[in-house]
Amino acid sequence: MTVRVSKKSRKLRGSRTMGWGLRGQHRDRGVEGGRQIGMSKDKWSWVVKYAKDWYGKHGFVNPTSVRINAITIRQLDEYVRNGKIKPVEKDGRKVVDLSSYGYDKLLGGGTLSQPLVIQVQMSSGKAKEKVEKIGGQVILGTTS
């Protein structure tokens, strides 16, 4: 692509259409793609039916944020009872490695019905207390 010596807007001064043709003058919407003008008037029924979140702010994802996948004691107990998480027998104790199931943190909501040895990256203080109170153990850090 060549570099312009002078700006196109300076070159086209006085030409009425500035290079955008006789009819549209760069005012149309192309082939109806993307977000258009008139969605609140001409195509409002379409917006109501198919695109309820067309207007308004939609936020953004912070690139520096770290997503922590957490599980509560209540959920853990339910998953162990249903067989979704299977404890492994080691030295006569049931051991659950939560990092292998994709969980990073254990939270203290709910109660356990059986003592478990839980291996997890992070844990809240309340969760640790509850597990140890029933006779289990929480092992923190990497488990690989």
* pLDDT tens digits, one per residue of 47-72: 899 988 888 888 888 889 988 999 99
**Which parts of the chain register pLDDT below 70?**
1, 28-36, 142-144
| 95 assigned to some structural domain | yes
| 111 assigned to some structural domain | yes
| 2 assigned to some structural domain | no
- Which residue in 66, 79, 101, 78 sits closest to 119, CA to CA? 101
> What is the separation of C-alpha 33 from the centre of its chain, rounded to a whole number of angstroms?
27
Looking at the structure of the chain, the number of domains it has is 1
| 29 assigned to some structural domain | no
| 61 assigned to some structural domain | no
Is the pTM of the predicted complex or chain greater than 0.75?
no
* pLDDT (0 to 100) of residue 41: 81
